[in-house]
Chains A and B, each alone.
Chain A
């Protein structure tokens, strides 16, 4: 099986890599591996997967998974089904509801068309009101709240692999990749003494990609394009 690699990142392999703009103009019918630092809805990374799907190509990642992984409540619902440890979730625009169902401290993610990175933490009522006002864009949208039980870590992951992390974190990254097949992303994970919980998934900035990261990504891309197993037959 041949795999077409479409990437907006300069990989360090000798593999033939196509630029997203070139692919969008093409009608190549091959399994498509879409490498992009950000798979945001309506951005080029999304349109590459969409174009591949319209052509009838098998593609990593799929449009459905791009959308779902960026909507925190759906990310957590689907990964929890796959056995990833998650915390209770409340989706609402009501501060009262968050306090009565989760108490303090809480961690909040935006669920709206405009905010796609970062999160907020609130330890008391006034901080929660401030965080809600900003993440709900003045109560125009709901937010996704989870209790804060440990320390929050942002972990870059490539094809489900992470560098220098504990076993719990490695397992989470692997399962998230199995569920959503997002090649490059950043996971937000809460760690307690003996447990780790998935809290969110966001794009990686290009500047955050180190030489070493690029090498790992390139190696994985090479493996997938040689084996094609990741596309599942």
Chain B
């Protein structure tokens, strides 16, 4: 019998669909004969009392979640997300450099260092990638810190803001599509497949309405994993293979019949009735992986 700690923050329970998924994880674990406890920030020091840790709070090498993950790892526990996955997925510069090294099909990307923010470099970027370009801070998640720029002034504004926290940024070719594939992968195996639809008239999955602070999200349309295109499956698994063997959500665009990876995310969203709606066994598979 295995004791699983699920590291969460209060915000993991604000959306009933996410809370629903968390309760399903708990039920599934208990049905399989494991203990499943929610571990909050105040009790992090208790990690050592468990056999496995499942992190659902937002991960980043600078967040509390990393401390939980690395502590568990050092103590020899099974852990999702493992510290290396957090390090590679938490920094898109790191990830894109790996994609380049291992030729993972991905969106054309250039890196920009802080002291290169000058006219010549910016025109080179526009020449190479076209206009507009997408500027990404390395720590992007939930479509935040990803912005478009179509002219030098705009480019400088966005870059200056992102440079406050990171000395290197990623610049990508603007690649609008009606949806992004989201492929869930666990331990080199496909877990679920869905399409994250891009809201009409927008270009990313989570978009702000003009002048309003609230973010609107596109629909999630899921399909059975057996029905996924073979090439999509290959590309998703290849992208994950350069990151690690954990749990990932791979974003992939279909451009002119080809699949290109946008990014591999650790800590992927799992909402009851969304990612799980076609393949119901995702809870069992994740719990089995943790308690194995």
Contact = CB atoms under 8 A, between A and B. Distances in A.
B231 interface: no
Chain A interface helix/strand/loop/mixed: helix
A94 B44 CA distance: 11
A21 B115 CA distance: 8
Contacts of A112: 62-64
Nearest to B168: A47
B292 interface: no
B266 interface: no
B97 A42 contact: no
Given A63-B87, A113-B63, A142-B64, A42 B115 contact: no
Interface string B89-119: 0010110011001000000000101111000
Contacts of A78: 74
A40 to B, nearest CB: 9
Interface in A27-53: 41-44, 47, 50-51
B62 A113 contact: yes
Interface extent on A, as a size class?
A: 20 to 34
B190 to A, nearest CB: 27
A43 B139 CA distance: 13
B153 interface: no
A74 B111 CA distance: 30
Most buried by B among A47, A50, A90, A94: A47
Contacts of B62: 41, 112-113
Interface stretch (B65-73, B204-212, B251-259): B65-73
A200 interface: no
Contacts, number: 90
A119 to B, nearest CB: 16
B114 A92 contact: no
A51 to B, nearest CB: 7
B116 to A, nearest CB: 8
A43 B167 contact: yes
Given A78-B74, A97-B42, A71 B115 contact: no
Nearest to A68: B70
Contact of A24 (B64, B113, B138, B139): B113
A41 B61 contact: yes
Interface of A: 21, 24-25, 41-44, 47, 50-51, 54, 63-64, 67-68, 71, 73-74, 77-78, 81, 89-94, 97, 101, 111-113, 141-142
Given A71-B67, A141-B64, 6 more contacts: A42-B167, A54-B98, A74-B74, A78-B74, A111-B67, A112-B62
Chain A to chain B: the 8 pairs with minimum beta-carbon distance, closest first: A113-B62, A94-B42, A42-B166, A91-B44, A54-B97, A44-B167, A92-B42, A142-B64
